[in-house]
Amino acid sequence: INKIAVLTSGGDAPGMNAAIRGVTRYAIYKGLSVEGIVRGYGGLLDEDIKPLDRRSVGEIIQRGGTFLRTARCLEFIEPEVQKKAAEFLRSRQIDALVVIGGDGSMKGAEALSRLGIPTVVIPGTIDGDMVGTEYTVGFDTAVNTVLDSVNKIRDTAYSHDRVAVIEVMGRHAGFIALYSGMASGAEIVLTPEHPVDFQAVCSHLLESHSMNKMSSIIVVAEGAATGTEVVDYIKEHTYLQANLTVLGYVQRGGSPSAYDSIMAGRFAQKAVDVLLEGKYNCVVGSVGRQVVATPYEEADKIRFVFDEGLYNLVHQLGR
């Protein structure tokens, strides 16, 4: 192969820029030329593409978001649209495509592979829930951002004897809630992996209160319940004062942590190496402590497993 293209797709995640930089510079180091596709799969349809050299990815490693922009391009599920994208890549003599994104973005990459375009996926999503890897770029930064926020909210919760409910991202997976809850010393974490028992939450809080614990932190993943539901239930069924903070996009932004930038670089190297070895149509990932590449059809067997032991430990230590 001589020329590759790179795009970012789905929700932005800190470390995506570090991954673009890694792909671009490592590919150039290996003698390839690189094009950047703007706004994910949308850019393949709008033919929005620009050459990338070493300098064009300078000063981005420390930046959150993605300088190539990203998009949710819903029409990309249509076979006709995918065909058009594949034809565009061929017309530009692009031999392979690196996609940085989550599960949905991987589906798009698989579709292009079936049309004869070699693809490789780098996991980039803050939620951590993706097949083919036990780690996704952006997760560590998001957890640290939540931790920082909870530490600040905790000051007020403690000073005013309040229950602080913090709603975090995670529609299908509670990894952000679990890890930020553990790190911030939350009393309760609510995640989609466990049915929410509002009554048990209240009993827990009242018991803590009777043991002179005057303030509590609850971290709730949006997929388990809304923060409003939790606060309203506590207010209705106890005498405790509860306040809600919805962190929202704060969690997606900011400079990547050291870990995310390092993983982005390692994943990028693997992605380019895999293409050069002709073992494409796979997702790069971290398994054990190794960076591996797994064919799309086998990726289902690998994922970040919800740590029940950690979940129990949060509640054992949180009181």
Tell me the site size for ligand ATP, rule CB under 6 A. 18
3-state secondary structure at position 139: helix
Is position 105 an interface residue for ligand ATP (rule: CB under 6 A)? yes
Is position 104 an interface residue for ligand ATP (rule: CB under 6 A)? yes
Q: Do the beta carbons of residue 296 and residue 279 sit within 8 Å? A: no
3-state secondary structure 252-316: HCCCCCHHHHHHHHHHHHHHHHHHHCCCCCEEEEEECCEEEEEEHHHHHHCECCCCHHHHHHHHH
Is position 11 an interface residue for ligand ATP (rule: CB under 6 A)? yes
Shortest Å distance, C-beta 194 to ligand ATP = 21
What burial letters (b/e) apply to 63-88, b meaning 16+ CB within 10 Å?
Answer: bbbbbbbbbebeebeeeebbeebbeb
Q: Give the amino acid at 279.
A: K
Nearer to ligand ATP, 125 or 215 (CB): 125
Which of the stretches 71-79, 115-123, 229-237, 300-308 binds ligand ATP when contact is defined by CB under 6 A? 71-79
Which of the stretches 53-61, 103-111, 219-227, 242-250 binds ligand ATP when contact is defined by CB under 6 A? 103-111
Annotation marks residue 197 as catalytic:
no
Beta bridge partners, 294, equal: 283
Q: Do the beta carbons of residue 250 and residue 120 sit within 8 Å? A: no
Residue from 77, 200, 313, 317 in contact with ligand ATP (CB under 6 A): 77
Catalytic residue among 12, 103, 127, 140: 127
Q: Do the beta carbons of residue 296 and residue 112 sit within 8 Å? A: no
Shortest Å distance, C-beta 107 to ligand ATP = 3
Binding mask 118-137 for ligand ATP (x = CB under 6 A): -------x------------
Binding site for ligand ATP (CB under 6 A): 9-11, 41, 72-74, 76-77, 101-105, 107-108, 111, 125
> Which residues form the catalytic set?
127
